[in-house]
Structure 1
Amino acid sequence: MWDNHQALDLLANTLFVLVALMVAYTASQRALSLPVLPVKALSVNGSSDGSGKLKHVTREQIESAVHSEYIGSFLTLDLNTMRQAFGKLPWVRVASVRRHWPQSLEVTLEEHVALARWGSDALVNTHGETFNAASDEVLPVFDGPTGSSHDMVRQYAVFTELLRPLQQRIEQMNLSPRRAWRVHLDNGTVLELGREQMESRMARYVLAHDHSIARLNRQLSYVDLRYPNGFAVR
């Protein structure tokens, strides 16, 4: 082989090309890691109410999330890591991050819309998802087994619509481990609805309110609607 000049030339050329490719690759990686294209602009979109403005997440929180994960340059920035950093902010439900040439990032955030308090230390959004965030908003309280938040949000919507003619609001809603429902109204009345036919029982309460309950001429503290054809009050 060593006497074959053509083979030696081919081997030398091949080695030269391989070395050149390795040098070029190493140089390109080093160049990309340098801040030759730093992020110069940051645009933020998104809201919780369709207004295009964020209600809870602040500009300072967004910039802090960017700086905490800003490693490399505009071209090498890990967008998935950046998205996860935004997703950890208390009020962020969904986050997306995109590059915009030449040197800007576009951040789109969807905030949670708090529907109720979940127990004593969490919130539940309109999708039935629980999350942790601080809020001084007056909200109804949901109390139920782990994993029942979606069912409680759906049932809350049904009960709220049924109560609309009476202009009564739900202040608290309880779901027991045996799936029995109890509703606390803003007028101080507690409705015992049980484990089945909750909607029809709530409708019975609404229908009876003007026909019989209101005629009692006193504030009721408790209405048990689990009877087949009536209810008990106290």
Structure 2
Amino acid sequence: MWDNHRLLRGLANLLLLASLGMVLYAAGFWVTHAPVFPVKRILIQGEMKRVTAEQLRFIAEHELTGTFFTLDIDKTRAAFGKLPWVRDAQVRRRWPDTLEIAVDEHKALARWGEDGLVNTHGELFDAATDQTLPVLVGPAGSEKDMVAMLGRLRSTLADVGLAPSRLFLSDRRAWRVALDNGVMLELGRGEVDLRTARFVDNWKTTLTSLPYRIEAVDMRYPNGFAVRMPDYKAPPAHKK
């Protein structure tokens, strides 16, 4: 074997490659873990009205660990996502020492019962706000449907200066709307958009001319509607 120069040359080359690989690995490990490559700058991007600079600074100081190379991007993203008003955070490195964080903030559209808020994407989130918002009450998982319905109702009712203050969806998918003028609007299960448009037409021409306070309007009738007026008293029946 020791007289086989070709074999010895191949063995020497193999040992040389192995040594070179170990050196490169050690060098790479040092480069990525050495404290001479710290993250020196954190650049925050995004339109933020609810997330404060103090909150972001706290996360940066207490949650982010590692060097420019070893910092865990997914963990960093999750750390910023803990803030109540942060919907999403995209994180990327920018050579040589900067971390760029693009923050997408929740935009509150409505309250979800007493349990939280719903954003413009129909997603539940838990945060505090003193905004005056409509309230959605419905089965779990119906958030996106209710947000879509809220948008359609707002658009149609705006024609007569009304707006939904509370929107209800039953387990049987029947809709009710409390309007900002105190009227409860019953829309039922089918043809909800058509019934809303019919209510708007009748509000313009008939309902506002009634001399009594309107408590509720039921649009579930195929060719008409019913009105509940607590102050109305039917005239006494004439005796024959």
TM-score for the superposition, normalised by structure 2: 0.88
Q: 2:149 aligns with which of 145, 155, 166?
A: 155
**Which residue is 2:46 aligned to?**
46
- Asked if 1:167 corresponds to 2:161, the answer is yes
- Asked if 1:8 corresponds to 2:2, the answer is no
Do the aligned partners of 1:140 and 1:170 also contact (CA within 8 Å) in 2? yes
Tell me how far 1:149 sits from its aligned partner.
0.9
Do the aligned partners of 1:71 and 1:77 also contact (CA within 8 Å) in 2? yes
**Which residue is 2:173 aligned to?**
179
Deviations along 1:37-65, whole A, 9 cap, x unmatched?
Answer: 21111221112xxxxxx111112222233
Task: Say if 1:172 and 1:120 are closer, same or farther in 2 by CA, change over 3 A.
Answer: same
Tell me how far 1:68 sits from its aligned partner.
4.0
**Match for 1:208: what amino acid?**
N
Do the aligned partners of 1:43 and 1:105 also contact (CA within 8 Å) in 2? yes
Deviations along 1:138-197, whole A, 9 cap, x unmatched?
Answer: 100001111111111111111111111221121100000000000001111100100011
How is 1:132-143 mapped onto 2 (pairs within 5 angstroms)?
A: 132-143=126-137
Do the aligned partners of 2:153 and 2:163 also contact (CA within 8 Å) in 1? no
Do the aligned partners of 1:32 and 1:72 also contact (CA within 8 Å) in 2? no
Structure 1: give runs of 5+ residues left out of the alignment.
48-53
Do the aligned partners of 2:89 and 2:101 also contact (CA within 8 Å) in 1? yes
- Asked if 1:35 corresponds to 2:29, the answer is no
Report SS of the residue matched to 1:10: helix
Report SS of the residue matched to 1:121: coil
Tell me how far 1:24 sits from its aligned partner.
2.8
* Larger CA deviation: 172-181 vs 27-36: 27-36
- CA–CA separation in structure 2 for the residues paired with 1:156 and 1:81: 36
Structure 2: give runs of 5+ residues left out of the alignment.
229-240
* Larger CA deviation: 80-89 vs 107-116: 80-89
Do the aligned partners of 1:117 and 1:123 also contact (CA within 8 Å) in 2? yes
Percent sequence identity is 50
**Match for 1:17: what amino acid?**
L
Q: How many residues align?
A: 228
Report SS of the residue matched to 1:20: helix
Task: Say if 1:71 and 1:34 are closer, same or farther in 2 by CA, change over 3 A.
Answer: farther
Tell me how far 1:101 sits from its aligned partner.
2.2
Q: CA RMSD in A?
A: 1.6
- CA–CA separation in structure 1 for the residues paired with 2:2 and 2:58: 63
**Which residue is 1:64 aligned to?**
58
- CA–CA separation in structure 1 for the residues paired with 2:206 and 2:5: 111
**Match for 1:194: what amino acid?**
G
Report SS of the residue matched to 1:207: helix
**Which residue is 1:55 aligned to?**
49
Tell me how far 1:4 sits from its aligned partner.
2.2
- Asked if 1:109 corresponds to 2:103, the answer is yes
